[in-house]
Chains A and B, each alone.
Chain A
């Protein structure tokens, strides 16, 4: 896929048939692991156990969740909570946390340190000690930290005024903004970093890609501009307002408020409510399992895509009762009786704990216990 306006125009003129064929080919490579199973059997079932202030969470508004082995970290509007041995402990600004509202979390798997992006700075939690970086005391580009991602010794940060990277060995901060990248808007919502590539989800400026080896930037935008229409399916990024990005197995998954996208380096595949099992185009977050499978957190429930089939876990929009619906490859929707659902349909964060799931919602944190 091209990365500039002229090349995009050319791409738009490519024969649809070719694009369609390529799209089919790409999908064909992404077959689910067990196609012989019925969709209702292949998709995971969960029993949701919900946490709120009633059972120890410092606030019901949970922005983000992070699994760290047996520990669960929850970024809430009123502190950073950690769940260990069935007990919640909360870190606040009195402990050195940059701000009470914790918007994003990332784990340095090597050191075990947790990085927390807040409304007023970036905090590093190491063995219970909290060090905080702000735009006043450090090279951090802005105090509103929407996203954070750890890659080796580098901590990548998405802020309300561009992105930046802290080299934890040298202490050097490198800023990325409209002056040195193709970023038009500098409201960066998410970042996903790997040793080869770093992706930035930018509000109103699409998806940015930094090739770490060459230092080259690529920009992926909605071919339809800022129009809320899709002229041609799978032509490019679904929308300019990108809220979340995940780069897994050389596949980019991008969430926007107007649908979601998957990009394999050549082909785009977009997901909309009208042609997928996505419960809403308004997607706050996504978390990819691998190249083919991904979880989506929307304003109308939690969704899972296994490469072919979809499942939605939520409280029914009609009667509020827990529901699980499955949409198979043919578009057939089946309702499955369940006894629990995530704490709220407004999903803000997702992480995996083995085959279990943890979900941050607007009204509580949910533990999805995988059911055999």
Chain B
């Protein structure tokens, strides 16, 4: 959540928060706190080293600024304000400009590295994330998380030339050392290409999108099988080895069996001349402890080490490249299930601060910098000893607020069995993961459920698709502890803080209903269909069969359960909680079990008897209008 947003509501609510939390402590049980407290945290997400090595550029997501530090003295040289919820940062080829993507403003800030000031703010596409300039300094590429594409901009003017198709949730971009290719990753799995009979039991598929920079066209989509959640990618300086950090969810087996083969694996996919024609997936996990939520990756200039930050495990992994390549050579193919494999190449598991994210390596390779997002610090790892040599504090508040504690709980994996998963493993960046899971210990393959968005969740209870959990403390407390973590329970304070954090998550801006803009004609027509009480033949539509009855209220849920005819033979009930419609356009797949891959399929495939609203009288263009309206919610 951005600093400015917090400021807006925090001032009015902090007293209430204190009162509620006091009440919670007094009663000895968690409550649903409505308020957020306000501290001016920096929350460093990414870090860059200037070409001459003299400066560090730190992207601070919560304070919405770039901190410029002297790399030698670690003193702050400047603070440059950028836009809302900045997420990506890159230097121009000549080092004179710094590009920052502002993910909630849909803009790109251009910072002059001499003046240390924003010289231009360019409009870009929906939720810009990664950014990189080509080697010639002519084109700028921006990965757009919501529009699932990569915008190609004129690097001088910011004018958009075109957009290239990328993976779903396009996020991070890396230029190859020779400058001929850009590699793009994405955080949500791609929609299934081919339909199967088991629509909701699909292992995820992701990709690395490869762009030819000479022509600025996509030339390859390297498949990443069974991967969902792909983050930073790094190259060795000779360009022969690429490594990308990723999640390997095991969503087709029950998550309840965390201790039996696990719910997640975390891995690197290696590619390039050093590993041959076929990319190889290698596990980062160890026998007794997982490398939860890998994010940042760097390879030292001498190609001796790969460093990987793991947000959930709160460590940076050090991998010996030669030993890794030897292992890959001796064990062809992917070995994600072999938890003993990493012992062959993992040389250190370096404890760092909370939620380590972006990594940067110094020019001489002697240091690796890590942005400890929830600790407001930059850890400096000595690559000779593989230990944290020093920590640069970003002068964040000394006080750890309740909200911050909740966020820490949300992003850590230390609570679960062997530190395998945390809330953020499935709710990536506090959103969702685009997967359907077999969650409960109710038998293999029963009650498959789609993972729902948790933004703006306050006022949408009950939770679970069967409506079984009346509140967030129940949803995130007993249930999570019992079925997911298989380890220690939360204490009451921790659960209260976690609840506070989750309830504070605001909805991201809706890109189909821009603020202050009128609805389009199609959206207006769709709204009328959503609210109608008569069908096209003049027959009244029963109240419970109107869209607006079940999906009522500002968040699109009556908070009641209904049978909409989507029960599968493997479901224990057909009575389902009405999901909220917040940013519904982003959260495919749909229906309780993720059977519908698109909004259209809810009605074209899964509503043959009009139980999910009266829709079979609609023409195709009217259904399109309804969907255009839903996308504004």
A141, B194: Cβ atoms under 8 Å? no
Residue of B at shortest CB range from A175?
A: B621
Stretch with Cβ within 8 A of A (4 or more), from B29-37, B230-238, B255-263, B600-608: B600-608
Alpha-carbon distance A135/B600, docked complex (angstroms): 9
CB B214 to nearest CB in A, in angstroms, measures: 12
From A126, A170, A174, B221 is in contact (CB under 8 Å) with A126
Stretch with Cβ within 8 A of B (4 or more), from A74-82, A91-99, A201-209, A340-348: A91-99
Interface membership of A137, Cβ < 8 A = yes
Interface membership of B522, Cβ < 8 A = yes
Residues of A within 8 A of B48 (CB): none
A173, B624: Cβ atoms under 8 Å? yes
A153, B165: Cβ atoms under 8 Å? no
Binary B-proximity of A96-114 (CB < 8 A = 1, otherwise 0): 1000000000000011110
Residues of A within 8 A of B600 (CB): 136-139
Binary A-proximity of B619-632 (CB < 8 A = 1, otherwise 0): 11101100110000
B164, A111: Cβ atoms under 8 Å? yes
Alpha-carbon distance A128/B512, docked complex (angstroms): 30
- Name which of A130, A173, A174, A179 has the most chain B CB atoms within 10 A of its CB: A173
Interface membership of B504, Cβ < 8 A = no
- Name which of B125, B585, B627 has the most chain A CB atoms within 10 A of its CB: B627
Number of A-B contacts (CB under 8 A): 84
Interface membership of A169, Cβ < 8 A = yes
From A112, A127, A170, A177, B209 is in contact (CB under 8 Å) with A127
From A93, A126, A132, A179, B165 is in contact (CB under 8 Å) with A126
B601, A127: Cβ atoms under 8 Å? no
B193, A127: Cβ atoms under 8 Å? no
From A94, A127, A131, A180, B218 is in contact (CB under 8 Å) with A127
Interface membership of B220, Cβ < 8 A = yes
B193, A111: Cβ atoms under 8 Å? no
Interface membership of B215, Cβ < 8 A = yes
Alpha-carbon distance A136/B607, docked complex (angstroms): 12
CB A11 to nearest CB in B, in angstroms, measures: 33
A177, B218: Cβ atoms under 8 Å? no
A129, B207: Cβ atoms under 8 Å? yes
B194, A94: Cβ atoms under 8 Å? yes
A110, B162: Cβ atoms under 8 Å? yes
Alpha-carbon distance A303/B597, docked complex (angstroms): 46
Residues of B within 8 A of A141 (CB): 620-621
Residues of B within 8 A of A95 (CB): 193
Given contacts A126-B221, A127-B218, A175-B621, are A111 and B165 in contact (CB under 8 A)?
yes
In chain A between 77 and 91, which residues have their CB closer than 8 angstroms to a CB of chain B?
A: none
A128, B220: Cβ atoms under 8 Å? yes
Alpha-carbon distance A169/B194, docked complex (angstroms): 23
Alpha-carbon distance A180/B521, docked complex (angstroms): 13
Interface membership of A273, Cβ < 8 A = no
Residues of B within 8 A of A128 (CB): 220-221
Residues of B within 8 A of A129 (CB): 165, 193, 207, 221
Alpha-carbon distance A169/B215, docked complex (angstroms): 21
Alpha-carbon distance A168/B164, docked complex (angstroms): 10
Residue of A at shortest CB range from B193?
A: A96
Residues of A within 8 A of B165 (CB): 111, 113, 124, 126-127, 129, 131
Alpha-carbon distance A103/B209, docked complex (angstroms): 28
Binary A-proximity of B254-295 (CB < 8 A = 1, otherwise 0): 000000000000000000000000000000000000000000
Residues of A within 8 A of B1 (CB): none
From A112, A132, A174, A177, B193 is in contact (CB under 8 Å) with A132
In chain A between 131 and 164, which residues have their CB closer than 8 angstroms to a CB of chain B?
A: 131-132, 135-139, 141-142, 153, 161
Alpha-carbon distance A141/B620, docked complex (angstroms): 7
Interface membership of A172, Cβ < 8 A = yes
In chain B between 129 and 186, which residues have their CB closer than 8 angstroms to a CB of chain A?
A: 147, 161-165
Residue of B at shortest CB range from A110?
A: B162
Residues of A within 8 A of B147 (CB): 169
B597, A137: Cβ atoms under 8 Å? yes
Residue of B at shortest CB range from A173?
A: B624
Alpha-carbon distance A153/B512, docked complex (angstroms): 17
Alpha-carbon distance A112/B152, docked complex (angstroms): 13
Which 6 pairs between the two chains have the least Cβ-Cβ distance?
A: A96-B193, A112-B217, A127-B218, A129-B221, A175-B621, A110-B162
Q: List 14 A-B contacts (CB under 8 A).
A: A95-B193, A96-B194, A112-B218, A126-B221, A127-B219, A127-B220, A128-B220, A129-B221, A132-B193, A136-B600, A139-B624, A153-B163, A161-B620, A173-B624
